[in-house]
Structure 1
Amino acid sequence: MQRDTLSRRGVMALFSWTGTAALLGCGDSSGEPKGDGRSVLVLGAGLSGLSAAYELQKQGYEVTLLEGRERIGGRVWTMREGFADGQLAEIGAVRIPDVHDHTLGYVDELGLELDEFPGGDPLYYLDDNRFMHKEGEDWPLPGLKPNELQATLGDTWAEYIAGAFEEFGNPRDGSFPKPGIVEKYDDQIWIDFLRQRGASEAYLPLYTADNGAEVYTIGTLAWMVAEVADQAWDKTYHIRGGNDLLPKGIAEKVGMDNILLAHKVMRIEHDEQGVTVVAEHDGAEVSFSADHLVCTLPFTTLRDVTIVPEFADDKMKTIDGLFMMNAGRGYIQTKTRFWEKEGIGGLKIAKTDTDAERIWDLSHVQAGSSTKGMIVSYTQEKHADAYCGKSMDEREAFALTAIEKFFPEIKAEKLAFFQYCWAEDPWVQGAWTDFLPGQWWMAAVAKRAEGRVHFAGEHTSIWAGWMQGAIESGKRAAQEIVATV
């Protein structure tokens, strides 16, 4: 579909991520409710839609959620079937950083408990070289610069990334991006920013093994905004019993009678008086009307929804063009935690350049006293595409063969395997949003309201890909509606 181009003046007006600091406190239920029975439709019962509904109900709004799936939670999805000893796998969101205040606020409000991921030393497998690294020793990577040779990953983060924070500004106080930053960096992928900061070519595979292949795709501004916002990140948590207890707990507050599952949105009509949504349910079309609408559908899904009248040209361009990163998960339950015999530990127990990419360990956040292991091959971008390009019957062998290069015990240790490719999920068609080079203007447009239609979801937050982003955006959309009274 052909769209009109934005004027330069119009584009520049969208670059600043204004108001983020103020949003950190939004969703406050103090004071008199303002909804007065007004009605709101929420599209999507993932974490963002549930958060918006919960905050709106606190303000006295009547809320109905329409969800295409037959379950709630969206990309917060815990798998409990098929694993011995009651262990579980997180198919979607895994981590909660200690600086994610919106997420931890709901955890506390719902009375959920947390387990901390333990620290430890990972295994590296780069260019067929299997090694562990101790602080103060040289990295066995030819071509490193003198400042990189014995530096920890924290040291190089401080030099190459944190050393530029002042230049970019901080989204938490509304100063990101500072003047001139968009013009300087918007067309640049993140890995090229590291090169510009002085990183050697020999260091980049090490950095990628730690952070994932996404760094060769995402734009510099999109990566940096999260780095600055979460710069004080120290500890990392998981919800005891499964991260899906968070959306389930919010859904209980909202009331399951207000959440209509298996309702696929087909059409959105909106005007100055209100909104109407047509959904398909059980082979028939059903219609819903309300005063306001909160749309949390990923734009990959929203592209297939008829919108009458269409939103502004820049919004439609953003819906059409926003990129969703693929991610593949291959969970393996093991007979023992064999890697610990070598002193390997932490969340990311193996950081590699193989098709398995990174191996994460969820063994220590499982319930009970089982000594079995629960690890996952967590792939992104080209590695996810390679994994997901295999048939479902081939993926287990593909993953195990890749892991066998650095964990030769894996095939004998395997008890159970579960695979998932997020690009194949019909309700998302990817794992999370990446703003590509040249797309920073879309960040402001994605979250902007269109009349009585408001937008939430990780794709509308600086915390794209995080539960924090879903919750923050849901609260923001709710606050926008409250502010219209």
Structure 2
Amino acid sequence: MPSLTRRQFVTRVARFGGAAAFAAMFGLELLARDRGGFKLEGRAPRGRGRRVLVLGGGPAGLATAYQLRKLGYDCSLLEARQRPGGRNWTVRGGTAETELGLPAQRCGFDAGQFFNAGAMRFSHHHRTALDYCREFGLELVPFPQFNEAAFVHVDGQPPRRIREFSADWRGHVGELLAKVIRRDALDVPLTAEDGEKLIAYLRAEGRLDASLTYPRNGDTSLDPTYLDHPRGYTVGPGNDDGPGTPTAPESLEKLLRAGYGTLHPYDHELNEQSTMLTPSGGMDRLAHAFAERLGPALLYGREVREIRRTADGGVRVVHTDAAAGGDAQTAFADFCVVTLPPHLTARLQTDFAAPTLAALRKGRGEHAGKIALQFKRRFWEEDDDIYGGRSLTTQPISQIYYPFDGFGARGKAVVIGAYHMSDPQGIFSELTLPERERLALEQGAKLHPQYPAEFDNAFSVEWHRVRYSEGAWIAWDNPADYDVMQRTLSEPDGPCYFAGDWLSPITGWQAGAFVSAHRTCARLHARATAL
């Protein structure tokens, strides 16, 4: 019976459903997983198989080149930009950028201020990323993702504190469910004892009174000797005014009619759960730590034009060297690891097989962007008691992220005044740089009226317009396209391998780029040492 390749096996398994295919891909190590503690054994071969070219200096390319060079491979990395990191990009005063089709932009932030335009945080379980931070001696600081003192805002409505919104939802939903249980009207049968246990949980979670009602006024503290109204107080307890004045809940009907039923400030997604972490001083500290260790093996200003096979089974890469006047140069290697965005790789002149090219074209760059605003003072702390975290709004700016460091400092600070995760209506795609700034200020002022008086300057990034990225991350039109890309590009095309966050289950995160790079390094190393 003829043997099956891993790709053929997964293709046949996929006939029984996507879940079966993914289980098979994990079992065959075709999808990378974030286990941490990555280490390759052995050494690079002395002859054939030793030379490797890595294309793209983002997290996947940096990790690939770093791991292979540790084993003794003659490994060079070609990066089109004049900096490492790709979408790991920290903007500081003096940073210049010219987006596609727009005039040049130069950052005017004060010394010490910065803005993580792309990657800005790790989850506590992103082990590969955290391993590198430990290995390179990078100090990590907490990145507050969820802050109940921040705002949730539906356009046309006044902003509400997240704690108010959360307390009301827990209270109203808890009341409804508790009363259904007490009436024995649940579809799922519960014993009387279990029903009372669930009601006890709902009473505590929703701060319900003895009649299982979420109080429409008054304090909801569980202990009358310790005042703790989750919704907050107009005058806090402990002041000269006595026990304080609790804020009044809003009705469930009002919350629903105002549109709050579709706005979710909770951070329950696994990759955004606390504790989140970030390198002190900017996310690009990690990219530069890789670059320092790669030294002259990391070549900047090298724009790849062609990827070709050679007669001896190796690879030939044609690139232009900006430092040499843009003249075309050719580099040869036994293997090549392509970490460029797939939709950009598909535009290059290559010898890739038809299925590889088709798979590369399945992904597209997502339209997402951020607008950073430098303000004259930390009014969100001084006036609104907000230290870190984010506010959410249904307006196009979507999110406002507050600084994760420098709490209590005087002077200027930078807020991410807009972070939209897509642009389905094309609002940001067509805006000029001044229009982006104006939009962020106008919409942000609905949450923080201090904006106009305190604004200093801005810097914005729309990733679909950023050269060499043309997208904030890779998105797919349907699960089938994602499946095709994963199955096809997890295998090499001759001497060419692929790596990137888009070849992992954690797309859009640096951890995904690292685990993909590690899987590729392991498979390339096994093949090279078997030659």
How far did residue 227 of structure 1 move? 5.0
Q: Which amino acid aligns with 2:44?
A: K
Q: Tell me which of 180, 205, 212 is aligned to 2:262.
A: 205
Deviations 1:63-112 (A, max 9, x none): 01111112211111111112124111111111111111000000000011
User: Which residue in 2 is equivalent to 1:187?
Assistant: none
Matched, 1:459 2:502: yes
Query: Residue type of the partner of 1:123?
Result: F
Give the equivalent residue in structure 1 for 2:482. Answer: 440
Secondary structure of the equivalent of 2:358? Answer: helix
- Residue 45 of structure 1: which of 31, 53, 57 is its match? 57
* Contact kept in structure 1, 2:33 and 2:515, CA below 8 Å: no
SS at match of 2:332: strand
Measure, in 2, the Cα distance between the counterparts of 1:452 and 1:142.
60
Cα displacement string for residues 161-213 of structure 1 (whole angstroms, at most 9, x for unaligned residues): xxxxxxxxxxxxxxxxxxxxxxxxxxxxxxxxxxxxxx999566313x668xx
Residue 353 of structure 2: aligned partner: 311
Query: Structure 2 matches for 1:272-287, cutoff 5 A?
Result: 273-281=313-321, 282-287=325-330
Q: Deviations over 1:352-385 (max 9, x none)?
A: 10021100112x3259944433211111212784
| 2:339 paired residue number | 296
Q: The residue matched to 2:168 in structure 1 has which SS?
A: coil
**Counterpart contact for 2:34–2:128, Cα < 8 Å:** no
Letter in 2 for 1:116: P
Q: Secondary structure at the match of 2:514?
A: helix
Task: Please state whether the residue corresponding to 1:269 is helix, strand or coil.
Answer: strand
2: distance between equivalents of 1:269 and 1:25?
A: 34
Residue 297 of structure 2 is aligned to residue 258 of structure 1: yes
Q: Partners in 1 of 2:395 and 2:439 — Cα distance? A: 11
Tell me the SS of whatever aligns to 1:471. helix
TM-score (norm 2): 0.70
Q: Deviations over 1:126-175 (max 9, x none)?
A: 14222114377324999999469xx99xx9xxxxxxxxxxxxxxxxxxxx
**Aligned letter for 2:156?**
D
Query: What is the one-letter code of the residue matched to 2:153?
Result: Y
Closer/same/farther in 2, CA of residues 11 and 466 from structure 1, 3 Å limit: same
Match of 2:374 among 333, 343, 349: 333
- Aligned to 1:294, the other structure's residue is in SS state strand
For the residues of structure 2 that align with 1:317 and 1:289, how far apart are their CA atoms? 25
Residues 430-456 of structure 1 show CA distances to partners (whole Å, capped at 9, x for unaligned) of 101223323231233333322221111
**Percent identity (aligned):** 29
Closer/same/farther in 2, CA of residues 342 and 26 from structure 1, 3 Å limit: closer
Root-mean-square deviation over aligned CA pairs? 3.4
Q: Is the counterpart of residue 269 in structure 1 residue 308 in structure 2?
A: yes
Q: Please state if 1:246 is matched with 2:286.
A: yes
Answer yes or no: is 1:24 the counterpart of 2:63: no
SS at match of 2:415: strand
Which residue number corresponds to residue 120 of structure 1?
147
Aligned to 1:88: 114
Change (3 A) 1:26 1:137: closer
Q: Is the 8 A contact 1:14 1:445 kept in 2?
A: no
Q: Which residue of 2 aligns with 1:68?
A: 80
CA contact 2:315–2:336 (8 Å) conserved in 1: yes
AA matched with 2:366 = M
Match of 2:460 among 387, 400, 419: 419
Tell me the equivalent position of 2:438: 397
| Partner of residue 346, structure 1 | 388
2-structure distance, mates of 1:267, 1:36: 27
Which TM-score applies when normalising by structure 1? 0.76
**2-structure distance, mates of 1:239, 1:305:** 35
Question: Within 2, Cα distance between the matches of 1:134 and 1:274?
Answer: 60
| Distance verdict in 2 for CA 1:141–1:392, change over 3 Å | farther
Match of 2:227? none
Alignment match, 1:428: 469
Which 10-residue stretch deviates more, 438-447 or 60-69? 438-447
Work out the CA distance in 2 between the residues paired with 1:412 and 1:444. Answer: 54
Give me the whole-angstrom Cα distance separating, in 2, the residues matched to 1:299 and 1:337.
41
- The verdict on how the C-alpha distance between 1:32 and 1:140 changes in structure 2, with shifts beyond 3 A counting, is closer
Mapped partners of 2:276, 2:133: distance in 1: 14
Q: What secondary structure sits across from 2:320 in the alignment?
A: strand
State whether residues 266 and 278 of structure 1, in contact with CA within 8 Å, keep that contact through their aligned partners in structure 2: yes
Distance in 1 separating the partners of 2:43 and 2:407: 40
Distance 1:66 1:33 in 2: 23
Q: Residue 378 of structure 1 aligns to a residue in which SS?
A: strand
| Unaligned segments of structure 1, at least 5 residues | 1-6, 156-198, 212-225
- The equivalent residue for 1:195 is none
Q: Matched residue of 1:238: which SS?
A: strand
Aligned to 2:252: none
> What per-residue deviation string (whole Å, max 9, x for no partner) do you get for residues 288-330 of structure 1?
111111000001211210111x2242x2222112122111111
The 1:25–1:345 alpha-carbon spacing in structure 2 relative to 1, beyond 3 Å, is: closer
Cα distance, 1:401–1:354 mapped onto 2, change above 3 Å: same
Structure number with bigger Rg? 2
Higher normalized contact order (CA 8 Å, seq sep 6+, divided by chain length) = 1
